């Protein structure tokens, strides 16, 4: 555990790990429009989770930016994977689209009764969204969502791939009230 | 006249270019006088005579025109004169992609041949980075980049598969040598060396790992492989993504710091060597607190210091050497691989041109990942194929995994009767592992293995003298001790030791001068010397001298096991001699 903050009975934490290996109810995968798992974390999901996950995705076809769908976690430790299609590569209205996809991912998890959900540092890294932008939008959206008294979510974990990702998220997390 | 509308991505490329221009890039964009000297230095040009679109100056002009139009005053005043232009459509970005990724391997041969100092490769790399930032890149580049960003290595090798491969190689090596001590340690703290590799080794060529392990073991090295940060290649160098470059380099550095490794050694990979050792600290914005070196240098040091023995008659097939562009042209590593080759093979033949002027393998630090450009890449490889064929060699050696794949591909395409290998394989094949190495130190020590040996310990620190003296006497040696250079020489002439352990940093005459005096004294010249120093940076005191190198070299602090193993090796005491 790198950092955490409690908001009454809810908690947001930051860890550095491989998100596909987490023992958690569900995690978010930053998916592509065609919902092909592809390379990177997608490749790890395929190899560790087995072929059924890609099979399950067939029924959704292609989806628009901002949308999110859910599959099982296959043979992974996580029960569900939320496939969320976010903005990429300096796309127009990055912040608006990132907020929308984060919110939809939360709602997808909620619909499955998830209590512990992990997010990657949404859109950073390969897709080039700056860390500070991702931290501000995703943590802000998550905090807002958790403030809703109706949610069953108890904990959201931000799973950073690298140590460089931690500080921007930690800074924003500390600023949240 | 109505202004032409610019696409969203085109505008983003121009915006980001403003952030990427530095003095090196701006100088290269501004300084070209189109003299044409670069033209014949490019293997793409040589393989495509009559097609000017492959000329480095022409390729650079595709991005130079944008620089002139938006960032250089000449383009504002005389745009038609300086051929300033801009980019407006996504189609133009695609065309720029085909130039930046498909018509250049960033080998930098043209850069070396430019009288104006224009480094087209840095311009081309910036162009790639600008395109990647808006998602315009070959599919293969996207896959490799995403794998390295998210899985941690550019071939998508999962951690459990990597660890399993290392353990497999370790088990095989232990069985082959019959020595549990040959096992490969993962994440062992406090080692002298953290050894990093190219993921190609874990995925396709694990023999290079076991060969390296065999060499480390034979040298009595304290080493480990990391479970994270083990990929020393860095696709940011190829794709132009500086953020990726920084993240990947940081993974290696942070792991070495966590493990307390004193040095990072990179296996043979030009791309990895340049990105981790040379470019990485800048991308990562880190002061790296330990030295980094290519395993080529490590192997050469082991041989020169007598830490491993090699028999070149085990490698008699004619070999030639291909200089990796990143190792040689960009990092100046020309002679070390040739020194190693001359020590481990009997028939080494240079190819021409060589060293800084050698031609690219066409694998180009990652070019193999872009299958859409394979036909033009292989066409350009004719230059390399002709070079290889002319040597008459049956084996081409290279210190780069990208070059291995590039060379294998072109050898197959041009039907050459050659194989590709690396120095680590040849050194391993030539390695002489004597049975004495298999005898546990404790067993030998019990039999007073150093009985009858006379050893002079030279160190200005009383604690070190006491420590070394006690260990050597406990194992049967007759030990003399000296606190400085003059005392050392006097005692050596009087007592005629079999071995002198020599500190480098001492008041008065430093260890380097003492060593030279020993070697130049006819009565002492053949006394064996083992340097034991806490200041590895002082090595030049020894190795820059025109005398026979020392028989051994150890870094402080030295353990009893390491000391005895090396003293036995230097004095050629085998396990069978334990009845002394």
Q: Which residues of B touch A (CB under 8 A)?
A: 8-9, 12, 16, 133-135, 142-147, 149-152, 156, 158-159, 243-244, 246-247, 250-251, 254
Instruction: Give residue-wise pLDDT tens across range B357-389.
Output: 999 999 877 888 899 999 999 999 999 999 999
User: Which tokens hold the place of A146?
Assistant: 């958790």
For B479-579, where are the alpha helices, taking DSSP H only? 485-495, 511-520, 540-543, 560-570
Judge whether B385 and B379 are in contact, CB under 8 Å: no
Is the distance from CB of B22 to CB of B4 less than 8 angstroms? no
Look up the pTM and report it: 0.81
Q: Using CA atoms, how far apart are residues B386 and B390, in angstroms rounded to an integer?
A: 6
Q: Is B412 a domain residue?
A: yes
Average pLDDT over residues B116-125: 97
Instruction: Report the alpha-carbon distance of residue B552 to residue A12 in Å, rounded.
Output: 56
ipTM of the complex: 0.98
Q: Is residue B1 part of a domain?
A: no
Q: What is the extent of the structural domain holding B273?
A: 149-304
Within-domain flag for B3? no
Provide the pLDDT for residue B56: 97
Measure CB to CB from residue B146 to each of A18, A40, A48 and give the nearest one: A40
Could you tell me which residue, B569 or B443, shows the higher pLDDT? B569
Q: Residue B411 falls within a domain, yes or no?
A: yes
Interface touch B143/A38, C-beta < 8 Å: yes
Question: Do B17 and B131 share a structural domain?
Answer: yes
Domain ranges of chain A: 3-175
C-alpha to C-alpha distance for B526 and A80, rounded to whole angstroms: 72
**Do residue B441 and residue B366 come from a single domain?**
no
Nearest residue to B432 via CA among B338, B321, B311: B311
DSSP B52: G
- Rounded Cα distance, B516 and B496, in Å: 17
Whether B243 and B357 map to the same domain: the answer is no
pLDDT > 70 in chain B, percent: 95
Q: What pLDDT score does B537 carry?
A: 64
Query: Is residue B420 domain-shared with residue B441, that is, in the same domain?
Result: no
Q: How many structural domains comprise chain B?
A: 4
Domain termination site, one of B255, B271, B304: B304
C-beta contacts of B92-95 below 8 A and 24+ residues apart: B92/B10, B93/B7, B93/B9, B93/B10, B93/B13, B93/B131, B93/B134, B93/B136, B94/B136, B95/B62
What average pLDDT does the segment B9-34 reach? 96
Alpha carbon of B8: minimum distance to chain A alpha carbons (Å): 8
> Which of B304, B338, B373 is the last residue in one of the domains?
B304
Q: Quick one: B323 and B420 in the same domain?
A: yes
- The mean pLDDT value for B409-436 works out to 92
User: Within the 53-82 window of chain A, which residues sit less than 8 Å (CB to CB) from chain B?
Assistant: none
**Domain boundary, last residue among B273, B288, B304:** B304
Residues B565, B491, single domain; the answer is yes
Spatial separation of the C-alpha atoms in residues B482 and B502, rounded to whole Å: 10
What CA–CA distance (Å, rounded) separates A170 from A3?
7
* 3-class secondary-structure state, position B423: helix
Distance, in angstroms, between B231 CA and closest chain A CA? 14
Place of tokens 């600023």: A175
> Which two structure tokens, joined as six digits, stand for B414?
């041009």
Residues B159, B293 within the same domain: yes
Question: Is 60 exceeded by the pLDDT of residue B222?
Answer: yes
Q: Residues B267-296: pLDDT tens digits?
A: 999 999 999 999 999 999 999 999 999 999
Residue of A nearest to B286 (CA): A164
Share of chain B above pLDDT 90, in %: 79
CATH of A3-175, picked from 1.10.8.350, 3.30.420.40, 1.10.287.130, 3.40.220.10, is 3.40.220.10
CATH number for the domain that contains residue B557: 3.40.50.2300
Question: Using the 8-state DSSP alphabet, how is residue A1 labeled?
Answer: -
**CA B248, B254, B258, B261 torsion: positive or negative?**
positive
Give the model confidence (pLDDT) of B181-199 as tens digits: 999 999 999 999 999 999 9
* pLDDT grade for B539, boundaries at 50, 70 and 90: low
Beta strand A116-120 pairing with B528-533: unpaired
Sequence-ordered strand ranges (E) for B239-355? 263-266, 292-294, 309-310, 319-322, 348-349
- From residue B185, how far is each of B174, B218, B221 by CA, in Å? 12, 15, 12
Task: Quick: pLDDT tens for B473-505.
Answer: 888 899 999 999 999 999 999 999 999 999 988
Which member of A44, A128, A162 has the closest CB to residue B151?
A44
Query: What are the tokens at B100?
Result: 């930046």
Contact A164 B246 (CB under 8 A): yes
Q: Residue A9 gets which letter from DSSP? A: T
Helix (H) or strand (E) holding A94: helix A94-111
Q: Which of B273, B301, B341 is nearest to B215 (CA)?
A: B301
* CB of B573 closer than 8 Å to CB of B449: yes
Q: What is the CATH number of the domain that holds B396?
A: 3.40.50
* pLDDT the model gives residue B126: 98
- For residue B270, what are the contacts with CB-CB under 8 A and spacing of at least 6? B324, B325, B326, B327, B328, B330, B331, B365, B399, B400, B402, B403
User: Cis omega before residue B132 (within 30°)?
Assistant: no
Q: What angle do CA B27, B105, B271 make, to 5 degrees?
A: 95
Domain membership of residue B144 (yes or no) is: no
| Whole-number Cα distances in Å, B360 to B279, B327, B381, B418 | 20, 12, 8, 17
> In chain B, helix, strand, coil percent, each to 5?
55, 10, 35
Over residues B17-45, the mean pLDDT reads 95
Antiparallel, parallel or unpaired: β B292-294 and B263-266: parallel
Q: B376-393: string of b/e by CB count within 10 Å (b at 16+)? A: bbbebbbbbbebbbebeb
What's the whole-number mean pLDDT along residues B52-70?
Answer: 97
3-state SS track over A99-137: HHHHHHHHHHHHHCCCCEEEEECCCCHHHCCCHHHHHHH
Contact assessment for residue A116 and residue A152, using Cβ atoms and an 8 Å cutoff:
no
- Rounded CA separation A38/A54 (Å): 10
Q: Would the CB atoms of A126 and B8 count as touching at under 8 Å?
A: no
Domain contains B143: no
The answer to whether B111 touches B92, Cβ cutoff 8 Å, is no
Suggest the residue from B151, B155, B258 to mutate for an interface test with chain A (most A CBs closer than 10 A): B151
Q: Is it the case that residue A1 has pLDDT exceeding 70? A: no
Nearest to B404 by CA among B369, B361, B373, B370: B361
Distance CA B282, CA A146 (A): 40
Whether residue B315 sits in one domain with residue B298: no
Residue B492 lies in a domain: yes
Count other C-beta atoms under 10 Å from residue B446's C-beta.
Answer: 11
Tell me how close the Cα of B401 comes to any Cα of chain A, in angstroms.
22
In chain A, what is the straight-line distance between the N-terminal and C-terminal CA atoms, in Å? 20
Interatomic CA distance for residues B520 and A78, integer angstroms: 71
Positive or negative, the Cα torsion across B274, B279, B280, B283? negative
């Amino acid at each position: 555990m790198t950092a955490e903050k409690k908001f009454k009975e809810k908690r947001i934490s930051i860890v550095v790990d491989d998100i596909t290996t987490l023992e958690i109810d569900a995690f978010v995968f930053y998916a592509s429009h065609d919902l092909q798992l592809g390379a990177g974390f997608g490749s790890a999901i395929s190899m560790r989770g087995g072929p059924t996950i890609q099979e399950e995705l067939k029924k959704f076809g292609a989806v628009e930016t901002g949308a999110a769908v859910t599959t099982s976690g296959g043979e992974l430790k996580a029960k569900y994977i939320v496939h969320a299609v976010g903005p990429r590569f300096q796309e127009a209205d990055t912040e608006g689209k990132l907020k929308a996809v984060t919110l939809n991912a939360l709602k997808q998890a909620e619909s499955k009764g998830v209590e512990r959900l992990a997010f990657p540092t949404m859109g950073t890294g390969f897709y080039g969204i700056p860390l500070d932008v991702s931290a501000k939008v995703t943590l802000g959206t998550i905090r807002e969502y958790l403030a809703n008294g109706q949610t069953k979510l108890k904990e959201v974990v931000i799973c950073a791939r690298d140590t460089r990702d931690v500080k921007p998220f930690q800074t924003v997390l500390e600023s949240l009230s | 006249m109505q202004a032409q509308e610019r696409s969203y991505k085109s505008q983003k490329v121009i915006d980001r270019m403003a952030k990427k221009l530095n003095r090196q890039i701006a100088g290269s964009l501004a300084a070209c006088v189109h003299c044409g000297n670069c033209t014949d230095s490019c293997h793409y040009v040589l393989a495509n005579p009559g097609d000017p679109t492959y000329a480095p100056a022409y390729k650079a002009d595709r991005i130079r025109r944008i620089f002139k139009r938006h960032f250089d005053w000449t383009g504002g005043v005389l745009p038609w004169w300086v051929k300033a232009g801009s980019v407006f459509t996504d189609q133009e970005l695609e065309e720029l992609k085909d130039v930046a990724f498909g018509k250049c391997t960033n080998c930098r041969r043209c850069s070396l041949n430019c009288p104006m100092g224009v480094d087209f490769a840095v311009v081309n790399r910036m162009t790639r980075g600008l395109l990647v930032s808006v998602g315009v890149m070959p599919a293969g580049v996207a896959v490799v980049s995403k794998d390295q960003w998210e899985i941690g290595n550019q071939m998508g090798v999962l951690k459990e598969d990597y660890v399993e491969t290392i353990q497999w190689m370790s088990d095989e090596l232990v069985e082959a040598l019959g020595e549990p001590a040959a096992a490969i340690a993962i994440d062992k703290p406090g080692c002298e060396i953290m050894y990093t590799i190219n993921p190609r080794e874990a995925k396709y060529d694990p023999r290079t790992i076991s060969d390296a392990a065999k060499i480390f073991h034979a040298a009595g090295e304290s080493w480990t492989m990391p479970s994270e940060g083990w990929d020393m290649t860095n696709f940011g160098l190829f794709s132009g993504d500086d953020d990726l470059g920084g993240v990947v380099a940081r993974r290696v550095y942070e792991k070495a710091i966590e493990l307390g490794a004193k040095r990072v050694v990179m296996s043979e990979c030009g791309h990895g060597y340049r990105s981790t050792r040379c470019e990485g600290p800048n991308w990562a914005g880190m002061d790296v607190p330990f030295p980094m070196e290519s395993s080529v240098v490590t192997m050469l040091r082991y041989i020169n210091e007598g830490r491993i023995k090699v028999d070149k008659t085990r490698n008699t097939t004619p070999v030639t050497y291909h200089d990796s562009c990143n190792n040689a042209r960009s990092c100046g590593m020309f002679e070390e691989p040739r020194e190693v080759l001359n020590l481990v093979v009997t028939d080494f033949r240079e190819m021409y041109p060589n060293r800084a002027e050698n031609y690219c393998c066409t694998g180009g630090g990652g070019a193999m990942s872009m299958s859409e450009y394979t036909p033009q890449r292989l066409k350009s490889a004719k230059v390399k194929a002709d070079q290889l064929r002319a040597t008459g060699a049956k084996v081409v050696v290279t210190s780069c995994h990208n070059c291995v794949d590039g060379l294998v591909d072109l050898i197959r395409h041009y039907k050459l009767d050659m194989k590709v290998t690396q120095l680590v394989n040849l050194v391993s094949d030539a390695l002489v592992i004597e049975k004495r190495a298999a005898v546990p130190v404790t067993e030998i020590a019990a039999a007073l293995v150093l009985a009858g040996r006379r050893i002079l310990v030279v160190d200005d620190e009383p604690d070190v003298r006491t420590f070394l003296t006690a260990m050597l006497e406990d194992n049967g040696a007759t030990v003399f001790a000296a606190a400085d250079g003059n005392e050392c020489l006097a005692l050596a002439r009087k007592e005629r030791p079999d071995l002198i352990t020599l500190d480098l940093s001492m008041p008065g005459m430093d260890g380097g001068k003492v060593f030279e005096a020993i070697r130049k004294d006819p009565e002492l010249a053949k006394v064996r010397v083992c340097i034991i120093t806490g200041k590895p940076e002082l090595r030049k005191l020894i190795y820059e001298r025109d005398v026979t190198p020392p028989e051994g070299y150890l870094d402080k602090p030295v353990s009893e096991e390491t000391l005895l193993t090396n003293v036995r090796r230097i004095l050629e005491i085998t396990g069978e001699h334990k009845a002394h």
